[in-house]
């Protein structure tokens, strides 16, 4: 039995807790920003887990089979990557009881739950680090971190001054753990075990490459799999990740390599990005480059690993799709179609299905506009639902091989298929603003091909062949 069978073909919906949904049933102290105002670096909108729970039927209707939460543990940051207490769900989110309730409600609907594990660094409010701030070199926790002098300079640094302790990107609010310390290792492993025992289904690991210690991650895997052999461990690695995907550390990584290839090809001359991908500035690429990029990506890992990769087109760390693709909805649809038919799980960042817009640090993390449904892109929403329905329980999507139909990949027409013995899905995409025609062998799309998803592609008999007519930016999936 494959313990990770639930990941293959999964549709993972990514929730940024402060911005997804706010339940009026939760009474919390404090004042929040107005829900529909633009994101701010420090402001809180008041989203909570009860609000997310109340939207589970929406997620099920969308076709989501798992939810990935950005950090939910106690923190003084709206993104909660500054963790105060790894054993406490943030009170603003509803506390531990709210997670228990969400888990029960999600599992009742067949939806798995993945939490964000921020184990490279903590926060200034984390107890052991706060102990160092108060007691300096006399603190028994001094080996939990990397002090470089006393007293620690954690606040009010002069312009250009760096903290005198190791921290993430020299940000004083994010002191880096000393994972060489057995006490720290035991603490992190205890956290991972605790929440799996509470019923979560996996961990997404934040910047795990910065814990440059294969033995640590092997131990992390052993601890997690001992609790739940079917738990999912995926890491935030933007580049090639063979080191972590040999079978002894992570199950998968966030597949930014896939999104980068799609952005370059489908985005083309309309490509707009405010940030690099894995340190690279992406440039428009032609079909030949795209196919080569995909073949290289497929060659990195065993196919069993490819089938559980966490594929995404966007996330909380990127511009939103409409911004990336120059505001062209048709290009967004092409990228979505390719990613949903491609091997692996699909990660949908909240709001992409309704056409939310925003650049990194300028709208990417805006609140979900539940009260402004007239602003929703219903055409995109319909497509996401169709693509998710195509994936659900589909053996070809879950386990099928992938190949380009190279003889039909010409100009701006992309043809590929997923297949198993006796079953297949074939996809045609016209990445051109012009109408195209393509002559196909009658067997090219399988026996008696039927369009499962179609934006206007037609097939006509042409002697011993089929003539495919593809309108501008058209796509179709045949089964």
For 321, counting Cβ atoms within 10 Å of its Cβ (0-12 exposed, 13-18 middle, 19+ buried), the class is buried
- Catalytic residue, from 39, 54, 116, 236: name it: 236
For 228, counting Cβ atoms within 10 Å of its Cβ (0-12 exposed, 13-18 middle, 19+ buried), the class is middle
Handedness of CA 62, 255, 20, 112 (dihedral sign): positive
- Catalytic residue, from 53, 206, 319, 412: name it: 206
| CA neighbor of 87 nearest in space, from 180, 173, 19, 187 | 187
205 phi and psi angles, rounded to 5 deg: -100, 125
The single residue listed with the structure tokens 């102290």 is 29
Query: What residues contact residue 215 under an 8 Å CB cut-off, 6+ apart?
Result: none
The answer to whether 117 touches 192, Cβ cutoff 8 Å, is yes
Q: Is 201 a catalytic residue?
A: no
73 phi and psi angles, rounded to 5 deg: -80, 160
| CA neighbor of 267 nearest in space, from 286, 250, 249 | 286
The answer to whether 13 touches 351, Cβ cutoff 8 Å, is no
Q: Is 53 a catalytic residue?
A: no
What span, in angstroms and rounded, lies between the C-alpha atoms of 194 and 188? 10
What span, in angstroms and rounded, lies between the C-alpha atoms of 280 and 298? 20
| CA neighbor of 428 nearest in space, from 446, 282, 379 | 446
What span, in angstroms and rounded, lies between the C-alpha atoms of 112 and 103? 8
Q: Which residues have a catalytic role annotated?
A: 206, 236
């Amino acid at each position: 039995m494959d313990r990770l069978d639930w990941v293959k073909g999964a549709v993972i919906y990514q929730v940024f807790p402060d911005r997804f949904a706010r339940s009026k049933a939760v009474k919390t102290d404090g004042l929040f920003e107005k829900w529909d105002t633009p994101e701010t670096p420090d402001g809180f909108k008041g989203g909570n887990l009860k609000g997310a729970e109340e939207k589970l039927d929406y997620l099920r209707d969308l076709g989501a089979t798992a939810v990935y939460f950005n950090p939910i543990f106690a923190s003084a940051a709206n993104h909660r990557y500054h963790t105060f207490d790894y054993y406490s769900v943030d009170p603003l989110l509803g506390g531990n009881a709210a997670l228990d309730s969400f888990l029960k409600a999600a599992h009742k609907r067949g939806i798995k739950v993945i939490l964000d594990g921020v184990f490279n660094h903590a926060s200034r409010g984390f107890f052991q680090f706060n102990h160092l701030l108060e007691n300096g070199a006399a603190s028994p926790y001094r080996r939990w971190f990397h002090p470089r002098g006393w007293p620690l300079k954690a606040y009010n640094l002069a312009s250009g001054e760096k903290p005198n302790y190791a921290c993430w990107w020299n940000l004083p609010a994010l002191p880096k753990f000393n994972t060489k310390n057995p006490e720290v290792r035991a603490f992190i492993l205890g956290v991972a075990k605790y929440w799996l025992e509470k019923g979560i289904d996996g961990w997404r690991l934040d910047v795990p490459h910065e814990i440059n210690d294969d033995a640590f991650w092997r131990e992390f895997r052993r601890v997690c799999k001992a609790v739940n052999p079917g738990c999912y461990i995926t890491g935030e690695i933007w580049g090639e990740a063979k080191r972590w995907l040999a079978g002894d550390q992570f199950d998968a990584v966030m597949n930014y390599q896939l999104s980068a290839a799609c952005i370059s090809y489908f985005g083309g001359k309309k490509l707009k990005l405010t940030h690099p991908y894995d340190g690279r500035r992406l440039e428009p690429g032609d079909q030949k480059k795209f196919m080569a990029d995909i073949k290289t990506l497929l060659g990195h890992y065993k196919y069993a690993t490819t089938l559980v990769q966490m594929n995404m087109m966007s996330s909380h760390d990127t511009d939103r799709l409409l911004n990336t693709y120059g505001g062209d909805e048709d290009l967004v649809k092409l990228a979505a179609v390719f990613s949903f038919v491609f091997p692996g799980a699909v990660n949908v960042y909240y709001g992409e299905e309704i056409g939310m817009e925003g650049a990194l640090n300028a709208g990417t993390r805006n609140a979900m506009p539940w009260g402004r449904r007239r602003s929703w892109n219903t055409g995109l929403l319909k497509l996401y639902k169709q693509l998710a329905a195509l994936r659900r329980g589909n053996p070809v999507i879950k386990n099928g091989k992938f190949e380009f139909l190279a003889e039909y990949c010409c100009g701006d027409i992309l043809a590929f298929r997923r297949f198993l013995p006796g079953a297949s899905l074939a996809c045609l995409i016209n990445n051109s603003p012009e109408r195209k025609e393509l002559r196909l062998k009658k067997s090219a799309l399988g026996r008696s091909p039927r369009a499962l998803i179609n934006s206007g592609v037609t097939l006509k008999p042409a002697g011993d062949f089929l003539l495919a007519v593809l309108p501008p930016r058209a796509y179709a999936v045949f089964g």
